[in-house]
Amino acid sequence: MSSDDSNEPPAEGLGGPAPEERPRPEGRRNSQGIRIDPEVEAERPPRRTTITALVQNQPGVLSKVSGLFSRRQYNIESLTVGTTQEPEWSRITVVVEEPEPNIDQIEKQLDKLVPVIHTRELDDDAVTRELVLVKLEAEEPDKVHAITEMYDGRTLDAGPRTITVELTGSERKIDDALDALRQFGVREIARTGQTALARGETKTSVVPDRLQP
């Protein structure tokens, strides 16, 4: 403490060189906390990828997973859940579009959830499929059938006013098919979102022995 006759604060701050006279570091980080060459790199751009998680069937597990994404502001493109080869397990498949550090964070944060058995980002060559149901106006049924077949789809319901068709495939293929079908008048669409398995011998999820059913 310093005693002073007046209670006026000093004009130049209390002690030490002012900010502009202090030593300065040479480097810089970006807003993601990554050390960068300020002249070369800005931020890492977002990329689209598929994350798969094998989870134990427990009350609240889906709420935990979806809550994690909303709480940390990660963009979910799609999220699917379904049963697996074991009745006590479910698989959650999430498609996200995020920059690199966030994709790493998503995996780690998912891993922290107690019911999560294993989580990973799938490789680009993973087998992925999505299913869509499209209800169309039935004014030109023959053309609808033709285009549906062109995309390996099936007609599930055909009535006097509507036709409902099913298409499965990659997200890209479904987007293309929907573009082609739109001309007939789309009434409603339901998409499942993407589900996926790793290709060939690669394991989608690795389950430690102690957690085998």
Partner 1 sequence: MSSERAVTRDEGGEADEPTEKRDEAPTRERDDPVSTGAESVVRALENAGVSHLFGVQGGAIMPVYDALYDSSMRHVTMAHEQGAVHAADAYGIVSGDPGICMATSGPGATNLVTGIADADMDSDPVVALTGQVPTDFVGSDAFQETDTTGVTRPITKENYFATDADDVGDTVGEAFAMAKRGRQGPTLVDLPKDVTNADTDREPGRARTPDTYRPPETADETSVTAAADAFADADRPVILAGGGVIKANASDRLREFAKEHEVPVVTTMPGIGAFPEDHELSLKWAGMHGTGYANMALTMTDCMLAVGTRFDDRLTGGVETFAPDAEIIHVDIDPAEISKNVEADYGLVGDAKAVLAQLGAGVNRSPDAAEWREQVAEWKREYPLDYHIDEDGPVKPQFVVEAVDAATEDDTVVTTGVGQHQMWACQYWTYTEPRTWVSSHGLGTMGYGLPAAIGARFAADDEQSVVCFDGDGSFLMTCQELTVAVREELDITVFVLNNEFIGMVRQWQDGFFEGRRMASEYNWMPQFDVLAEAFGATGFRIDEYDEVEEVVESALDHDGPAVVDVHIDPEEDVFPMVPSGGDNGLFALQGDHL
> Which residues in this chain contact partner 1 in the complex, by CB under 8 A?
1-7, 9-19, 22-35, 56, 59-60, 63-64, 67, 71, 101, 104-105, 108-109, 111-112, 114-117, 210-211
Q: Which two tokens stand for residue 9?
A: 């604060």
**Nearest to residue 165, comparing CAs of 173, 177, 176?**
177
What's the min distance (Å) between Cβ of 99 and partner 1?
Answer: 13
Nearer to partner 1 (CB atom), residue 24 or residue 161: 24
HEC secondary structure over 118-136: EEEECCCCCEEEEEEEEEE
Nearer to partner 1 (CB atom), residue 62 or residue 180: 62
The Cα 194–Cα 91 span in angstroms is 12
The Cα 91–Cα 84 span in angstroms is 6
Q: Which two tokens stand for residue 54?
A: 């094998």
What's the min distance (Å) between Cβ of 121 and partner 1?
Answer: 15
What's the min distance (Å) between Cβ of 202 and partner 1?
Answer: 23
Nearer to partner 1 (CB atom), residue 200 or residue 213: 213
Tell me 44's DSSP state.
P
What's the min distance (Å) between Cβ of 119 and partner 1?
Answer: 12
